[in-house]
Amino acid sequence: MIKASLLARKITPPVLFDLLRVFKPENKKNKANPDEMVRIASMPRYMEGITSLPGLGNNFKFSDSASFLSTYKSIFADEIYRFQSDSKSPFIIDAGANIGLSVLYLKKLFLVQRSGV
């Protein structure tokens, strides 16, 4: 669980609420390190950061902590892009213009032959 000393850092209430919701004990599927999530959440807005949270590989760069955490939570914890497929390697086109988290998630979920990430 999230350490109280880390929660004492300046974290905006909406981000703190999301962190607590993601790391509640019954959410067993999330393997992210809560201390790392709190570290990112305590960073100032629009400051570049690096993390190696599960699913991202080593040294994943982001440019805004709040946006990154919100997107990471949606994609990896809430699994908003999870879908059933008859193929082990479905043809997926991601035409988004964000930081590539959805592609990394889908690569983890399915056997991806090629990707631009």
**Which H or E run contains 60?**
strand 60-62
Does a structural domain hold residue 112? Answer: no
Q: How many domains does the chain have?
A: 1
Does a structural domain hold residue 67? Answer: yes
Does a structural domain hold residue 116? Answer: no
Helices vs. strands in the chain: H and E counts, helices first: 5, 2
Does a structural domain hold residue 97? Answer: no
Per-residue pLDDT of 27-38, as tens digits, reads 555 567 788 888
Does a structural domain hold residue 114? Answer: no
Does a structural domain hold residue 96? Answer: no
The CA distance from 31 to 106, in Å, is: 17
Per-residue pLDDT of 8-66, as tens digits, reads 555 665 666 666 666 555 555 556 778 888 899 899 999 999 998 888 888 999 999 98
Domain extent for 19: 4-84
The CA distance from 109 to 37, in Å, is: 22
